[in-house]
């Protein structure tokens, strides 16, 4: 018996987006092309409305889809954004721009396309600012390397003596050098008292160098560029703070304030940052999870939104993040497959997992090191990031109390497993374990 696919979206259209043109299919007769100028996008919207189209599907192509989506939605047309791979994997179409938009329309009519996750407008605004801030941080980091290179060329080894050349002590010395100071003893005095107490002699030795004019010019340019990007970061912080004011306007005050976890690097200059995030999440403090800080949490919120209703289960969530194991098993057959590409949110969890891997006092850290010893650091970081993402999902959907109980049970189980392993090893070697109570 032949089965014919039922049309689910009769008033559906398809759009193929390019850098200079978009191709729009609104009926069975064919397609029309429009330029990507704003007035032409409005003409495309009018064309869709004339053909009684109330929903269009288009592929997520770079950032080109954003202005198209904004204009079409302003005209009352629903926009369904889909992954490029979804349409490409289904056979039955020719690979040309015009054929693409027709094929997208056909798939959308039959309900065969899965929409991408697009957060609400206020979250998209935060995402833009946060990603821009991260770009500035990366650019500033590049200029720190340029400063270090200039120091190396002058044989100034300050960056080998103090931990952060861009810290308060390092900045004072750089500014003094650029003003003409060359005496090592005088420059060393600009360091923090603790640095002078521990390694004054090393600092003085590191500041005897070859101050050639071209190297000084290189240092000046790098320091100005680093300062410029840090000023941009502060401007982003002001923009984020104003975003908090608007977002928390109708949210209730938080009754109990959990302890604020220290942010070691790139802490936003936002007053009561911790309290503002707690109001935003209605008291659910995901920063208490291992490896996460308030800044990590706001970055995750910028990617996935405030609630996780888009993902029905934790498995859906970690799969979307690109953190699920890429394995397929059927009977005796085991094979790996190429799954979803890395997402920005998944990368944040991986960065947190990296810090957990280096920690000796966190239960997840012992799990990460165990996986690392068996399968290497890359898989260990991904597996730990997956566990952390599951904890975050439960913290947001079920509350921190649920997660805290889960962590306690996990740590108990990890301790029990470790004891069992040690007992077996001692038995094989002819020894026995004796429990000793340590009084703290």
Residues 166, 40 share a domain? no
Q: What is the pLDDT of residue 420?
A: 85
Q: What is the DSSP letter of 115?
A: B
Average pLDDT over residues 184-208: 89
Q: Which range is most confident: 74-88, 112-126, 224-238? A: 224-238
For 10-24, 191-205, 249-263, which range has the lowest pLDDT when averaged over its residues?
249-263
Residues 236, 129 share a domain? yes
Q: How far apart are CA 90 and CA 24, in angstroms?
A: 20
Residues 128, 101 share a domain? no
Query: In CATH, what number is assigned to the domain containing residue 221?
Result: 1.10.287
Whether the CA torsion 114, 116, 117, 119 is positive or negative: it is negative
Residue 90: closest CA among 106, 74, 72, 79: 106
User: Are the beta carbons of 324 and 386 closer than 8 angstroms?
Assistant: yes
Q: What is the DSSP letter of 271?
A: T
- What is the total count of domains within the chain? 3
Per-residue confidence at 218, pLDDT binned at 50, 70, 90? Answer: very high
Q: What is the DSSP letter of 334?
A: E
Q: How far apart are CA 190 and CA 157, in angstroms?
A: 16
Specify the DSSP element, H or E, that contains 98: helix 97-109
Angle between helices 273-280 and 213-247 (to 10 degrees): 40
What is the end-to-end Cα distance of the chain in Å, rounded?
76
More confident residue, 140 or 416: 140
Which residues are bridge partners to 334 per DSSP?
A: 329
Write down the H helix ranges in 267-399: 273-280, 294-304, 314-321, 344-357, 363-375, 377-398
Tell me which of 81, 109, 137 is where a domain ends: 109
Alpha carbon 335 to chain centroid distance? 29
Residues 158, 102 share a domain? no
pLDDT, tens digit (0-9, with 9 covering 90-100), for 170-180: 999 999 999 99
pLDDT at 1 over 90: no
Specify the DSSP element, H or E, that contains 153: helix 121-153
Tell me which of 109, 132, 149 is where a domain ends: 109
pLDDT, tens digit (0-9, with 9 covering 90-100), for 11-66: 999 999 888 999 999 988 889 999 999 999 999 999 999 999 999 999 887 788 88
Q: 49: burial class by Cβ within 10 Å (0-12, 13-18, 19+)?
A: middle
162 within a domain of the structure (yes/no):
yes
pLDDT at 229 over 80: yes
Q: How far apart are CA 438 and CA 440, in angstroms?
A: 6
7 within a domain of the structure (yes/no):
no
Specify the DSSP element, H or E, that contains 33: strand 30-35
Per-residue confidence at 253, pLDDT binned at 50, 70, 90? Answer: confident
Q: How far apart are CA 429 and CA 64, in angstroms?
A: 66
Residues 412, 345 share a domain? yes
Distances, alpha carbon 145 to alpha carbons 29, 219, 223, 333, 348, in Å: 59, 10, 10, 49, 23
Residues 140, 54 share a domain? no
Residues 134, 19 share a domain? no
Q: What is the pLDDT of residue 406?
A: 61
Residues 158, 95 share a domain? no
User: Are the beta carbons of 23 and 97 closer than 8 angstroms?
Assistant: yes
Per-residue confidence at 261, pLDDT binned at 50, 70, 90? Answer: confident
Domain hosting residue 198, numbered range = 123-245
Q: What is the pLDDT of residue 328?
A: 60
Tokens 């429009």 correspond to 34
208 within a domain of the structure (yes/no):
yes
SS3 of residue 310 by DSSP: coil
Q: What is the pLDDT of residue 437?
A: 64
pLDDT, tens digit (0-9, with 9 covering 90-100), for 357-411: 887 777 788 788 888 888 899 999 999 999 999 999 998 988 777 566 666 776 7
Phi, psi of 244 (to 5 degrees): -60, -40
User: Are the beta carbons of 47 and 24 closer than 8 angstroms?
Assistant: yes
pLDDT at 91 over 60: no
Q: How far apart are CA 353 and CA 371, in angstroms?
A: 12
Query: In CATH, what number is assigned to the domain containing residue 35?
Result: 3.30.420.140
Residues 188, 130 share a domain? yes
Tokens 């008292």 correspond to 193
Q: What is the pLDDT of residue 339?
A: 53
pLDDT at 439 over 60: no
Average pLDDT over residues 269-295: 91
230 within a domain of the structure (yes/no):
yes
5 within a domain of the structure (yes/no):
no
4 within a domain of the structure (yes/no):
no
Q: How are beta strands 55-59 and 12-17 bridged, if at all?
A: parallel
Residue 284: closest CA among 400, 123, 390, 394: 400
Q: What is the pLDDT of residue 318?
A: 93
Tokens 């002590």 correspond to 169
SS3 of residue 12 by DSSP: strand
Per-residue confidence at 103, pLDDT binned at 50, 70, 90? Answer: confident
User: Are the beta carbons of 397 and 413 closer than 8 angstroms?
Assistant: no
427 within a domain of the structure (yes/no):
no
pLDDT, tens digit (0-9, with 9 covering 90-100), for 297-336: 999 999 999 989 889 999 999 999 999 887 665 556 666 6
Residues 319, 204 share a domain? no
pLDDT at 354 over 60: yes
């Amino acid at each position: 018996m032949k089965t014919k696919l039922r049309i689910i979206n009769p008033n559906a259209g398809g759009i193929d987006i390019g850098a200079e043109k978009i191709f729009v299919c609104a009926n069975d007769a064919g397609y029309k092309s429009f330029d990507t100028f704003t007035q032409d996008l409005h003409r495309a919207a009018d064309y869709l409305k004339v053909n009684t189209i109330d929903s269009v599907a288009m592929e997520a192509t770079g950032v080109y889809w954003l202005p198209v989506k904004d204009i079409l939605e302003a005209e009352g047309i629903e926009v369904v954004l889909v992954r490029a791979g979804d349409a490409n994997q289904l056979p039955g179409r020719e690979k040309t721009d015009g054929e693409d938009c027709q094929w997208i329309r056909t798939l959308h009519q039959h309900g065969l396309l899965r929409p991408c996750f697009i957060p609400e407008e206020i979250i998209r605004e935060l995402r833009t600012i946060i990603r821009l801030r991260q770009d500035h941080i990366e650019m500033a980091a590049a200029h720190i390397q340029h400063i270090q290179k200039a120091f190396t060329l002058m044989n100034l080894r300050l960056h080998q003596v103090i931990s952060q050349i861009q810290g308060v002590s390092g900045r004072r010395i750089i500014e003094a050098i650029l003003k003409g100071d060359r005496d090592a003893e005088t420059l060393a005095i600009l360091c923090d008292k603790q640095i002078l107490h521990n390694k004054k002699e090393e600092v003085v030795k590191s500041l005897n160098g070859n101050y050639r004019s071209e190297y000084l010019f290189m240092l000046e340019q790098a320091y100005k560029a680093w300062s410029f990007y840090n000023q941009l970061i502060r401007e982003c912080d002001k923009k984020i703070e104003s975003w908090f004011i608007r977002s928390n306007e109708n949210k209730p005050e938080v009754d109990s304030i959990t302890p604020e976890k220290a942010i070691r690097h790139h802490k936003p200059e936002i007053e009561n940052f911790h309290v503002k995030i707690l109001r935003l999440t209605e008291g659910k403090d995901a920063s208490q999870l291992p490896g996460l800080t308030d800044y990590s949490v706001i970055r995750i919120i910028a990617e996935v939104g405030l609630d996780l209703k888009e993902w029905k289960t934790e498995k859906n969530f970690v799969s979307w993040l690109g953190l699920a194991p890429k394995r397929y098993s059927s009977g005796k057959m085991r094979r790996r497959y190429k799954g979803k590409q890395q997402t920005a949110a998944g990368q944040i969890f991986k960065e947190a997992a990296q810090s957990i891997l280096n920690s000796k006092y966190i239960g997840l850290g012992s799990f990460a090191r165990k996986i690392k010893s068996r399968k290497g650091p890359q898989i260990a970081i991904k597996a730990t990031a997956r566990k952390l993402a599951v904890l975050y999902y439960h913290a947001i959907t079920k509350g921190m109390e649920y997660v805290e109980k889960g962590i306690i049970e996990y740590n108990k189980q990890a301790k029990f497993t470790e004891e069992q392993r040690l007992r077996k090893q001692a038995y094989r070697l002819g020894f026995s374990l004796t429990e000793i109570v340590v009084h703290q």
